[in-house]
Amino acid sequence: MRSLLNTPENVTMILLSDPPGGPRPKPNDRCWCGSGQKYKRCHQQSDRAGATQPAPARRLVRPGKVGQGRLVPAHIARPDYARTGKPGDWDGSEINTPEQIERMRRAARAAAQVLELTGKAVRPGITTDQLDALAHEAALERNAYPSPLNYHGFPKSICTSVNEVICHGIPDDRPLEEGELINVDITLFLEGMHGDCSATFLVGEVDARAQKLVRVTHECMMKGIEAVKPGRPISDIGRAIEAHSDKHGYGVVRAYCGHGVGECFHTGLQIPHYFEREANTVMRPGMIFTVEPMITLGSYDYDLWRDGWTAVTADRSLTAQFEHTLVVTDSGFEILTLP
């Protein structure tokens, strides 16, 4: 059993330290904000000065131009929907064999590596389509197929969800702006398994309120993961997430949830991120699923853009998300999406 919070290599993906006012990194450590820069070159000066900036006015996200889907070489194995856009019906077991779990470890690790690589490229001025290109090439370098590509017709290789976009944002030619948040969602199909993960990154200097949202969202994910125990109901996960979110006055999105994953991108297993009494499926060793809470500063209700994919908060409040794929073990859990 491994905790992401104790994994130094993931510092670029998450807020490992408290925001200003909490423990400070050392000057040559990576900054707590997730920029990937050394602390002394990023937030050290403003932290020493105790600087706090008011939340800046921001423009709502608007769709840009979406380019063509990217090509995948013929030698890379494809999921069943790659050509038609229609995944087949899933009728397998939620309990994976040791051989399936080992293949998933490799697929999930590759996805985590691509997520880390893509997150390091996040900066003001880069477009989400450029992030898509980077992640697509990184997937091909690992002989993996980017799972979102043509899944029910999705046009790109990753999802990029900015500010009030909850999930399933389509990469386009819109440049990222200073002070924004972006969730990057990566899933790779490798050795017949789908490894799925996401993280929210800060674009340049981000105000304290948004920083706290990102930190608490990651904490919510970890609270949910730590509730995973064989013999306990799935509802324990949502109970833990919702309790932590409520402490901070945040909303937990209900329309989208975690899911079983493996040889099928989405199995029939659903993981609510709020307490749902009817989510009484008992967790058993060998189950593989995602925990991926979407936490908002305001309402958990959502609207959908005309593209049929992009979900945004109904009140247009900021939202953040983190996601891991994990397997239930005899004693608890193992996080698989670690780079």
> Per residue in 161-191, pLDDT tens?
999 999 999 999 999 999 999 999 999 999 9
| Cβ-contact 142, 158 below 8 angstroms | no
pLDDT value at position 3? 28
pLDDT value at position 58? 73
For residue 10, pLDDT over 70 is answered with no
pLDDT value at position 59? 85
Whole-number Å distance between alpha carbons of 333 and 318: 30
Mean per-residue pLDDT over the chain, rounded: 88
For residue 19, pLDDT over 50 is answered with no
Backbone CA torsion sign across 174, 178, 183, 186: positive
- Which one-letter DSSP state was computed for residue 259? E
| Cβ-contact 166, 313 below 8 angstroms | yes
The CATH code for residues 4-47+95-335 is: 3.90.230.10
Least confident span in 5-19, 29-43, 167-181, 217-231: 5-19
pLDDT value at position 28? 75
Residue 55: pLDDT band with limits 50, 70, 90:
very low
Q: Which residues contact 297 (CB under 8 A, 6 or more apart)?
A: 209, 213, 250, 251, 317, 318, 319
- Alpha carbons within 13 A on the beta-carbon side of 155: 13
> Per residue in 214-261, pLDDT tens?
999 999 999 999 999 999 999 999 999 999 999 999 999 999 999 999
pLDDT value at position 40? 57
For residue 279, pLDDT over 90 is answered with yes
For residue 152, pLDDT over 80 is answered with yes
pLDDT value at position 30? 62
DSSP secondary structure string for all residues of 24-48: PPPTTSBPTTSSSSBGGGTTHHHHH
pLDDT value at position 134? 98
For residue 33, pLDDT over 70 is answered with no
Whole-number Å distance between alpha carbons of 214 and 53: 17
Strand partners, 201: 182
Q: Which residues contact 199 (CB under 8 A, 6 or more apart)?
A: 13, 14, 115, 119, 183, 184, 322, 323
| Cβ-contact 155, 170 below 8 angstroms | yes
pLDDT value at position 158? 98
pLDDT value at position 14? 28
Taking residues 58-74, what's their average pLDDT?
A: 94
Least confident span in 22-26, 77-81, 96-100, 267-271: 22-26
Taking residues 28-39, what's their average pLDDT?
A: 54
| Cβ-contact 204, 122 below 8 angstroms | no
Express as a percent the part of the chain with pLDDT over 70.
84
Taking residues 109-128, what's their average pLDDT?
A: 98
pTM across the whole model: 0.83
Whole-number Å distance between alpha carbons of 294 and 259: 14
pLDDT value at position 43? 46
Taking residues 258-266, what's their average pLDDT?
A: 97
